[in-house]
Structure 1
Amino acid sequence: MNPTQLSRELRTAQTPDLKRRRWIIGLSLLGAAMGQIVTLYQTGIIKHLPDPPVGPFDSDKVDASDYGYKRLDTPDAAAMLITYGLTTALASAGGKDRALMKPWVPLAMGAKLLGDVLTNLTLAREEWQENKALCFYCQTANVLSVASLALAVPEVVRAAKNAFTSGPNSVAQV
């Protein structure tokens, strides 16, 4: 797509898909902010993660536990930055008609979001089993991922219909 046209569409077009994509971008950036906060704690830059006064939350306990450091020899919140950045990039990619013109982009975004939600559910279960507590910031990010998946569904469905037809933009011919 012409960069001038892409810039104009992303910034000014008002389609239902773009409005939902903008929400997904905002939610993803908020998820990345949750990852940044926890990364600050897990690397010793800040010493405490405040939690709401209600609920099963003990973010300090969870994020300082073995659970928070057992994958890839790194604090787990650092990976949140990567995953929410990738979602932001996928939601930002393409113009207002990408479900028709490049259906693989919204399909990739939908698959990514579905994978995030399933992974987050697994990790939340593991977080609870190992710590008998939850990280407020991580669970907030999980809710953001579920909301993003719900917002993505209409465009993903439209892209799937376009991708699997025999037109010039179908996945089979890409």
Structure 2
Amino acid sequence: MRVDKKGHSENIALVTATSAAILTLLPVAAHQVGLLSHLPDPPFAIFTSDDITESKAAHPLGIPDGLLGLGSYGGTLALILLSRRHPIARKMLVVKLVADGSAASFNAVRQLVSFGKLCSWCTGTVLCTAAMVFAGRKLIAQETVVVSRRLS
């Protein structure tokens, strides 16, 4: 599969946004496993990262969601890197980007509904995920057109 320079720059944006999302999750995971005693927040009352990341909701099936997020975004990064040469990885990346965007949005809304506050680090992950979806928007649109043509 040939990728033009514009496609290459989209790949760079995807890699950058996904790497940034991973970086925002590292302190969360470190806090959840006891390596960091406190997650610092900006000086705004809306943020309470410690309370949210220590909550039962942040440990689905007893597993810290920071660790789950690191694994998930690591998978997204692998798909991005594979997608330039493997068409199936490209298709899987589209599904993964939509799933990542949906999960990040759900978690942000859940924090506001459940706590009335936000984890600042998780909000950073949400913003990075939005950048990932934005960077992958043309890929998502292209693959959606291909699927809809096959269905009709």
The aligned runs of 1:26-105 (5 Å cut-off) are: 26-54=16-44, 56-69=46-59, 71-95=60-84, 102=87, 104-105=88-89
Aligned length: 151
Instruction: Return the structure number with greater helix share.
Output: 2
Calculate the TM-score normalised by the size of structure 1: 0.75
Unaligned runs of 5+ in 1: 2-8, 167-174
Per-residue deviation, 1:162: 5.2
Aligned CA RMSD, in angstroms, stands at 2.5
Per-residue deviation, 1:163: 6.2
Per-residue deviation, 1:161: 4.4
Q: Identity rate of aligned residues, in percent?
A: 21
Per-residue deviation, 1:143: 1.1
1:138 pairs with 122, 125, 128, which one? 122
Unaligned runs of 5+ in 2: none
Larger radius of gyration: 1
For 1:155, the equivalent position in structure 2 comes to 139
Greater length-normalized contact order (CA 8 Å, ≥ 6 residues apart): 2
1:102-122 CA-partner distances (Å, limit 9, x unpaired): 2x4333212211111112222
Per-residue deviation, 1:14: 6.3
